[in-house]
Amino acid sequence: MTSLRRANQTRDALYRISEATHSADSLRGICDGVRQVITELFPHNDLHLVFYDPVKAVLTVPDWSADRANDWIEGPMQPGTALAEVIGSGQALLTSRDPYQPGLGAITMDGLKSPGPMNWLGVPLISNDSVLGVLVIESPLEQTHYRAADQELLQFIATQVATVVERKRAQDHLRFLAHHDPLTGLTNRSLFYDRLETALKSACRHNSHVALLYLDLNDFKQINDNLGHEAGDQLLIETARRLEQCTRETDTVARMGGDEFTVLLNDIADLAAANAAVSKIREVMAAPMVLEGQRVLISFSVGVALYPEDGHTARNLLGRADSKMYEQKRSL
Residues 217 and 165 in one domain: no
Q: Is the pTM of this model over 0.75?
A: no
Per-residue confidence (pLDDT) for residue 276, from 0 to 100 = 94
Active site residue 310: no
Return the pLDDT at 31.
86
pLDDT in tens, 5-61: 666 766 777 777 777 766 777 888 888 888 888 888 888 899 999 999 988 889 999
Among the listed residues 98, 150, 259, 310, the single catalytic one is 259
Amino acid at 71: D
Domain boundary among 153, 179, 205: 179
Average pLDDT estimate for 128-133: 91
pLDDT at 69: 62
Q: 220 and 134 in one domain? A: no
Task: Characterize the bridge pairing of strands 252-257 and 130-138.
Answer: unpaired
Same-domain status, 147 and 200: no
User: What gap in Å lies between CA 72 and CA 65, rounded to an integer?
Assistant: 10
pLDDT class of 183 with cuts at 50, 70, 90 = very high
Q: Do residues 157 and 101 share a domain?
A: yes
Q: Please, which pLDDT band fits residue 139 given cuts at 50, 70 and 90?
A: very high
What pLDDT, on a 0 to 100 scale, did the predictor assign at position 112?
Answer: 59
Q: Tell whether 233 and 205 lie within a shared domain.
A: yes
Whether the predicted pLDDT of 292 surpasses 90: no
| pLDDT given at position 3 | 64
Q: Is the residue at 159 inside a domain?
A: yes
Q: What CATH number does residue 261 fall under?
A: 3.30.70.270
Same domain for 141 and 112, yes or no, is: yes
**Among 99, 101, 146, CA closest to 120:** 146
The domain boundary residue, chosen from 179, 212, 243: 179
Q: Of 158, 191, 192, which is closest to residue 263 (Cα–Cα)?
A: 192
Rounded mean pLDDT of 250-273?
93
Does pLDDT of 66 surpass 70? no
Helix (H) or strand (E) holding 292: none
Distance CA 332, CA 121 (A): 67
Tell me the C-alpha distance between 180 and 215, whole Å.
18
Q: Is residue 18 part of a domain?
A: yes
> Are 69 and 208 within one domain?
no
Contact criterion met (CB below 8 Å) for 307 and 285: no
User: Could you tell me if 256 and 152 lie in one domain?
Assistant: no
In a domain, 184, yes or no: no
Between CA 24 and CA 99 the distance in angstroms is: 33
User: 86-116: per-residue pLDDT in tens?
Assistant: 999 999 999 999 988 989 998 866 555 667 7
pLDDT at residue 2, as a whole number: 59
Asked if the structure places residue 81 within a domain, the reply is yes
- The CATH number assigned to the domain holding 142 equals 3.30.450.40
What is the arithmetic mean of pLDDT over 128-136? 92
- DSSP assignments along 238-274, one per residue: HHHHHHHHTS-TTSEEEEEETTEEEEEEEEE--HHHH
- Map residue 203 onto helix, strand or coil: helix
220 and 272 part of one domain: yes
208: confidence class by pLDDT, cuts 50, 70, 90: very high
DSSP string, 11-52: HHHHHHHHHHHHH-SSHHHHHHHHHHHHHHHSTT-EEEEEEE
- Domain of 11, in residue numbers: 3-179
234-252 residue pLDDT tens = 999 999 999 999 999 899 9
User: Is the domain of 118 the same as that of 79?
Assistant: yes
- On the question of pLDDT at 307 being above 90, the answer is yes
**Which residues are CB-contacts of 270 (< 8 A; sequence separation ≥ 6)?**
209, 306
